[in-house]
Amino acid sequence: MRTVMADARLKTLLVLLVLSLYVRASKYQAETEDNDFADFEEFDDDFERPYQGASPADGGGAAEPERAADAGRAAAADDRAQQHDGDDDDDALVEVPVHRSTNWDKFYVEMLMIAGIVVYFINFVSGKTRNQKLANAWLSAHKNLLESNFSMVGDDGKAEPGSGAGLLKESENMYTLWCSGRVCCEGMLVQLKFLKRQDLVSVISTMMKAASDQVEIRVTMNAEEMDTFVFCLANKKSAARLAKEMTDISTYCPERKSAERFGLPAHFSVLSEIHEAAAAVLDARVVAVVNKYPELVEYIHVSDQYSGPKQQLDDQAPVELPKVKPTLAFCFNLPGRGRLQPADVETVRPLMQLVLYMVDRMKRCKLGREGRLKAEKNRLRVQEIFLKQTHQSRAEKAQAKREEKRRLEKERILEVRDRDGWRWGANREEDPEKQRRLEEKNEKREAKRRAQMRQMKVKAL
> Using one digit for the tens of pLDDT, what is the confidence trace for 27-65?
555 555 555 444 445 445 444 444 444 444 444 444 455
* pLDDT of 287 above 90: yes
Angle at the Cα of 186 (from 157 to 335), degrees rounded to 5? 85
What does the pLDDT look like over 76-112, one tens digit per residue? 556 555 555 555 455 555 565 555 556 667 777 888 8
More confident: 351 or 313 = 351
DSSP track, 324-343: -EEEEEEEEEPTTTT---GG
| Same domain for 411 and 379 | no
Residue numbers of the domain that contains 312:
131-388
| Same domain for 285 and 155 | yes
Residue in 382, 321, 405, 314 with CA at minimum distance from that of residue 397: 405
Pair 394, 319: CB distance under 8 Å? yes
* pLDDT of 5 above 80: no
| Same domain for 411 and 273 | no
* pLDDT of 4 above 70: no
Q: What is the pTM of this model?
A: 0.66
| Same domain for 439 and 310 | no
Confidence label for 241 from pLDDT (cuts 50, 70 and 90): very high
| Same domain for 362 and 230 | yes
Mean pLDDT of 161-182: 83
| Same domain for 231 and 161 | yes
| Same domain for 282 and 399 | no
Is 217 contained in some domain? yes
What does the pLDDT look like over 431-445, one tens digit per residue? 567 667 777 777 777
What does the pLDDT look like over 339-348, one tens digit per residue? 888 888 888 8
Highest mean pLDDT among 11-25, 295-309, 337-351, 397-411: 295-309
Is 256 contained in some domain? yes
Is 81 contained in some domain? no
* pLDDT of 175 above 80: yes
Pair 360, 268: CB distance under 8 Å? no
The DSSP 8-state label assigned to residue 323 in this structure reads P
> What is residue 31's predicted lDDT score, i.e. its pLDDT?
53
Sorted by sequence, the CB contacts under 8 Å of residue 297 that are 6+ apart come out as: 233, 235, 268, 289, 290, 332, 333, 351
Q: Reduce the secondary structure of 261-305 to three states and give it as a string.
A: HHCCCCCEEEEECCHHHHHHHCCHHHHHHHHHCCCCEEEEEEEEE
Sign, CA torsion 5/7/11/14: positive
* pLDDT of 372 above 70: yes
- Rounded to the nearest 5 percent, the helix, strand and coil shares of the chain are 60, 15, 25
Give how many domains the chain has, as a whole number: 2
> What is residue 269's predicted lDDT score, i.e. its pLDDT?
93
What does the pLDDT look like over 110-127, one tens digit per residue? 888 898 899 999 999 999
| Same domain for 303 and 211 | yes
Is 377 contained in some domain? yes
Is 51 contained in some domain? no
| Same domain for 298 and 213 | yes
Is 229 contained in some domain? yes
The DSSP 8-state label assigned to residue 407 in this structure reads H
| Same domain for 161 and 240 | yes
| Same domain for 299 and 206 | yes
| Same domain for 333 and 401 | no
Report how far residue 301's alpha carbon sits from residue 248's, in angstroms, rounded to the nearest whole number. Answer: 10
Is 338 contained in some domain? yes
